[in-house]
Amino acid sequence: MIAVAGGKGGSGKTTTTLGLARALSRRGAPVVAADADWDLPNLARLAAETRSEGPTETGAGGPPPGADRHADGSDARTVLDAVRRTEPIRPGRSAPTVLAAPDTPRSVDAGAAFGALDGVTPEGAPVLLDSPAGASPDVAAPLRAADRALIATPLRRAALRDAAKTAAIARRLDCPPVGAVVIGETDVPDRVATLLGCPVLGAIPDGGGAPLSDPAVRNAYDGLASRLGETTAASGWQIA
Cβ(33)–Cβ(46) under 8 Å?
no
Q: What angle do CA 90, 91, 93 make, to 5 degrees?
A: 135
Q: In the sheet that 2-6 helps form, which strands lie side by side, from edge to edge? A: 97-99, 32-35, 127-133, 2-6, 148-154, 177-183, 200-204
Helix (H, G, I), strand (E, B) or coil at 178: strand
Q: Is 231 exposed, middle or buried (0-12, 13-18, 19+ CB in 10 A)?
A: middle
Q: What angle do CA 93, 79, 129 make, to 5 degrees?
A: 65
pLDDT at residue number 90: 86
Phi-psi category of residue 61: left, alpha or beta, with phi > 0 → left and psi -120 to 50 → alpha: left
In the chain, where are the structural domains located? 2-234
Q: Is 155 exposed, middle or buried (0-12, 13-18, 19+ CB in 10 A)?
A: middle
pLDDT at residue number 20: 97
> Beta-carbon neighbour count of residue 230 at 10 Å?
9
pLDDT at residue number 52: 61
pLDDT at residue number 9: 74
> Beta-carbon neighbour count of residue 141 at 10 Å?
23
Q: Rounded to whole angstroms, how far apart are CA atoms 206 and 134?
A: 22
pLDDT at residue number 53: 53
pLDDT at residue number 106: 87
Q: Rounded to whole angstroms, how far apart are CA atoms 57 and 93?
A: 10
Cβ(212)–Cβ(43) under 8 Å?
no
pLDDT at residue number 66: 38
240 residues of the chain, pLDDT tens digit each: 999 999 877 779 999 999 999 999 999 999 999 999 999 999 999 999 997 655 545 443 344 433 444 444 445 689 999 998 877 788 888 899 999 999 888 899 999 999 999 889 988 999 999 999 887 889 999 999 999 999 999 999 999 999 999 999 999 999 999 999 999 988 999 999 999 999 999 999 998 888 999 999 999 999 999 999 999 888 888 876
- Which residue, among 218, 226, 234, 237, has the nearest Cα to 50 in the 3D structure? 218
- 3.40.50.970, 3.40.1050.10, 3.40.50.300, 2.40.30.10: CATH of 2-234: 3.40.50.300
> Beta-carbon neighbour count of residue 78 at 10 Å?
25
